[in-house]
Structure 1
Amino acid sequence: MYSLRLVLMAAMVLVFSVRVFAFEGLVQPMGEGGAIAWGSGEVEVVRALEQDGDGGEPTPLAVRMAVGQARKRLLDIILAVRVDARGTVSSYLADDEDAAARLRSLVQNSPLKRPAMFDDAGEVRVFERLRGPLAELVLPTSIQFQSGIPPRMPSSMEGNMAFESEGMPEEAGIGVSGFTGIIVDARGLRVTPAMAPVIYGQDGLGAYGPFLVSRASAIASGVAVYAVTDDRAVLRERVGENPLTVRALSTFGSWRTDLVVSSPMAALIRAMMRVGDAVDQCRVVIVIDPFISDPGAAPVPDAPLPQTEE
């Protein structure tokens, strides 16, 4: 009996060691048991098992069916994730059959948590992360990572923006090298989370985004993460002990993925990203409003995933 307990405890440790990621951040419900944690980058789907009439232990067939449905839903969610202002994972993979097939294979073999022994919940959980191998697949090579060339907003858009004056923060007196990261407060702006957002200044010039970040850093950490609080103690893991806090004034683009800050703050961001390791570790957190309720509707990819022969 004692041996059995040890085995069960070891199995539970193994299960939870795979699924626990630091800093969950903003959790975006995706309907039908799905969710994206934009802090850790974890995408999950929880699917209830169909119970037989006598309410007994789920059959292997019921588990297999639930896992298959959950992984199909997981793929749909990943396809619908916005990469940047231009498109979703699905739209970027539309012309790349090889990458599409590899994504399907990755999701088909995604980590799985089966119902635990004596677990009355009767559900399975599958998950992946928008980091590592998955990010390697879905982050387009067409994005000019670490080009050093900041993008510009179209002049027509820039001219229509109401410029606001915002002075430098008091902490700026310590010098840009003293800042360990950036917190962008974008609450109230109905931001759409994306894997590779850009922060612009009101001068129309990019201040932070993939053009400063290496592709390897974006794959490992994400260009930026999303949270629902600006509490430095909560965000310390991502932005360090002394982050610069910046207020976003508006969004940019039809999908509201990119942000606009005042020109003085944009200049400060550019300066601080030239020193230290903030840019290497993508120490940027974007704070947005929490998703109050599950939207219910499943996200629909804006382009079909290419089919390959089995």
Structure 2
Amino acid sequence: MKRCKILFFIFSIVLVSFSISESAEDLVEQVGSGSINWTDGIIVATGIGAPPEQYYGKPNARPMALQAAKIDALRKMLEVVNGVRINSTTVVKNFAVDNDTVVSEVQGLIKGAKVVNQQYMSDGTVEVKVELNMRDQFAQIMLPDDIKDIPSVTPTEPASNNVSTTPNVLTSGKYTGLVVDARGLKAKPAMSPKILDENKQEVYGSSSVDREYAVKQGLCGYAKDIVSAKKNERVAGSPLVVKGIKVDGAGKSDIIISNADANILKNSSDNASIMQQCRVMIVVD
């Protein structure tokens, strides 16, 4: 029996370690009482509720606690949503302040947030976790109007599933995407960031992408390390990897790269499809 307990303990540690290593790959930003998973494009909030004191121990105590927890979770979700950076100068709260239509649409999305977990505690309280997808409807509301639908571009050759560990310099000029290494710059993730050259001319941003792609998968993906970024299906194969040299904008979401790297991308035969299909990953600390 003692041996079984030891084995169970070891197995539990292995499971916990595995789950931690998996989640450690995601770029998660804590905002207020919730968080934004920029890697998966998910906003998360957790609420706690308790029944009125006079109902403790009665049959309807649990349903009342559950309802209170859901209300608390949605309230916290609104706080997190208000803090989402749309671009390097604007967060959702500022964007929606003078737009009743946006406020109404956002409130509707929050009310429909998905309950992904609920736990009943021994003290009678209930904990509810809710999630909201930042893609699709949310992105349609928040992304700039200047992102238009663009006629399809000629697709590139299918990307290999093998991720190269060698420098991304291909004689053919064929790239499957762009990875911008912005580590060490204190860069902040946003829904609509820009990649600029040293003259602050836009290399990649809202004017470059097709709205359908931007709404469905976001203008770019975020990762915490180069390996994870290069493996991401958005760019996997032979992405061009460039180093950010500094950030721009009050929100520190726009990344400046060298003119030399900007020219490599501009001169690539796949530049148009990379831009339009949002095949861009940004690596931040």
- TM-score normalized by structure 2? 0.75
Task: Tell me the SS of whatever aligns to 1:251.
Answer: strand
The one of the two structures with greater contact order (alpha-carbon pairs below 8 A, sep at least 6) is 1
Change (3 A) 1:66 1:122: closer
| Aligned residue among 124, 128, 152 for 2:128 | 124
Question: What residue in structure 1 maps to residue 26 of structure 2?
Answer: 25
| Aligned residue among 189, 192, 213 for 2:188 | 192
Amino acid at match of 2:198: Q
| Aligned residue among 154, 174, 192 for 2:171 | 174
Task: Tell me the SS of whatever aligns to 2:273.
Answer: coil
Change (3 A) 1:272 1:43: farther
Q: Retained in 2: the 8 A contact 1:186–1:286?
A: yes
Question: What residue in structure 1 maps to residue 79 of structure 2?
Answer: 76
Question: What residue in structure 1 maps to residue 248 of structure 2?
Answer: 252
Question: What residue in structure 1 maps to residue 216 of structure 2?
Answer: 220
The yes-or-no answer on 1:139 pairing with 2:140 is no
Change (3 A) 1:80 1:118: closer
Q: Retained in 1: the 8 A contact 2:149–2:212?
A: no
Change (3 A) 1:275 1:140: closer
Q: Retained in 1: the 8 A contact 2:179–2:230?
A: no
Structure 2: 5+ residue runs without aligned partners? Answer: 1-22, 151-165
Q: 1:278-289 maps to which residues of 2 (within 5 A)?
A: 278-289=274-285
Q: Retained in 2: the 8 A contact 1:146–1:215?
A: yes
What RMSD in Å do the two structures reach over aligned CA positions?
3.2
CA offsets per residue over residues 241-284 of structure 1, 9 Å max, x none? 11111110000112211011110101122233754632333111
In the TM superposition, residue 287 of structure 1 has moved relative to its aligned partner by: 0.8
What is the distance in 2 between the residues matched to 1:188 and 1:131?
28
Amino acid at match of 1:202: E
Amino acid at match of 2:141: L
Change (3 A) 1:226 1:184: same
What is the distance in 1 between the residues matched to 2:111 and 2:189?
25
CA offsets per residue over residues 108-160 of structure 1, 9 Å max, x none? 1211135268999942111111100111122232xx22599xxxxxxxxxxxx
CA offsets per residue over residues 213-242 of structure 1, 9 Å max, x none? 122221111111211111058633221111
Question: What residue in structure 1 maps to residue 235 of structure 2?
Answer: 239
Task: Tell me the SS of whatever aligns to 1:277.
Answer: helix
What is the distance in 2 between the residues matched to 1:247 and 1:147?
30
What is the distance in 2 between the residues matched to 1:211 and 1:278?
13
What is the distance in 2 between the residues matched to 1:171 and 1:114?
42
Question: What residue in structure 2 maps to residue 19 of structure 1?
Answer: none
Give the share of equivalent positions with the same residue, in percent: 27
In the TM superposition, residue 58 of structure 1 has moved relative to its aligned partner by: 6.4
What number of residue pairs does the alignment pair up? 244
Task: Tell me the SS of whatever aligns to 2:35.
Answer: strand
In the TM superposition, residue 199 of structure 1 has moved relative to its aligned partner by: 0.5
Q: Retained in 2: the 8 A contact 1:113–1:126?
A: yes
In the TM superposition, residue 74 of structure 1 has moved relative to its aligned partner by: 0.7
Change (3 A) 1:25 1:202: same
What is the distance in 2 between the residues matched to 1:288 and 1:266?
19
Task: Tell me the SS of whatever aligns to 1:218.
Answer: helix
Q: Retained in 2: the 8 A contact 1:131–1:221?
A: yes
What is the distance in 1 between the residues matched to 2:108 and 2:265?
40
Q: Retained in 1: the 8 A contact 2:48–2:72?
A: no
Structure 1: 5+ residue runs without aligned partners? Answer: 1-21, 149-168, 290-310
Q: 1:55-66 maps to which residues of 2 (within 5 A)?
A: 59-66=62-69
Task: Tell me the SS of whatever aligns to 1:134.
Answer: helix
Q: Retained in 2: the 8 A contact 1:185–1:287?
A: yes
Q: Retained in 2: the 8 A contact 1:106–1:134?
A: yes
Question: What residue in structure 2 maps to residue 183 of structure 1?
Answer: 179
| Aligned residue among 214, 217, 225 for 1:229 | 225
